[in-house]
Amino acid sequence: MTVVYEDNHIIVVNKTASEIVQGDKTGDTPLSETVKQYLKEKYNKPGNVFVGVTHRLDRPVSGLVIFAKTSKALSRLNEMFKTSDVKKTYWAVVKNRPAQEEGTLTHFLTRNEKQNKSYAYDKEVPNSKKAILHYKLIGQSQNYYLLEVDLKTGRHHQIRCQLAKMGCSIKGDLKYGSPRSNPDGSICLHARRVSFVHPVSKELIQLEAPLPPGNLWNGFELF
């Protein structure tokens, strides 16, 4: 866990691909607990430390996660995520070059809880939710393409599902059509940047996460 930003009300960390944000049935230590422990030790706090989860990243995804350190920040950030006032930009590595170098994808997503998977449709279907993202081809390497994705809505597995529907499955994402997994169980999707107005101080916060280590992410020639 790397701390990218911290003040009295919020802490933003760069999550590695194997970490879970919140506790689940695996029983593995969630990132929220790691952050609590970090704050407890850093400030020598007795008793419980408040850490509020404001949003999640899928376990195999890396990048920026915002946590609240106060209940005031938590309730305001929750509202900001609901109203899409937190701008999130992702980088995704894909095998196939998209037909258009830039575009907006609009689909209707349904979620299968049992499979923990979403399905994208071109038209509205029962129980579907509208999903919108904007993508842009920003780099290429010998074998892969790098897409920058701006999320307009926040749906379950949205980027993974919509890019796969476009014929550009994310590298390592077996669930959505990638032929092979990554050795570390990650998928090549990284929450690269966040931009938002601070819930308490009202100043503009713009943050960027370092790229995951390794030649793959650093081997792109950016356009």
Q: Which residues of 85-106 are buried (b: 16+ CB within 10 A; e: fewer)?
A: ebebbbbbbbbeebeeeeeebe
Is position 58 annotated as part of the catalytic site?
A: yes
Q: Tell me which residue of 63, 64, 61 sits closest to 17, measured CA to CA.
A: 61
Token reading at 91? 């980088």
Backbone angles phi, psi at 78, to 5 degrees: -55, -45
In the block, which residue shows the tokens 């969630």? 30
Q: First vs last Cα of the chain: how many Å apart? A: 30
Of 7, 24, 28, 58, the catalytic one is 58
3-state secondary structure (DSSP) of residue 165: helix
3-state secondary structure (DSSP) of residue 61: coil
3-state secondary structure (DSSP) of residue 25: coil
Catalytic residue numbers?
A: 58
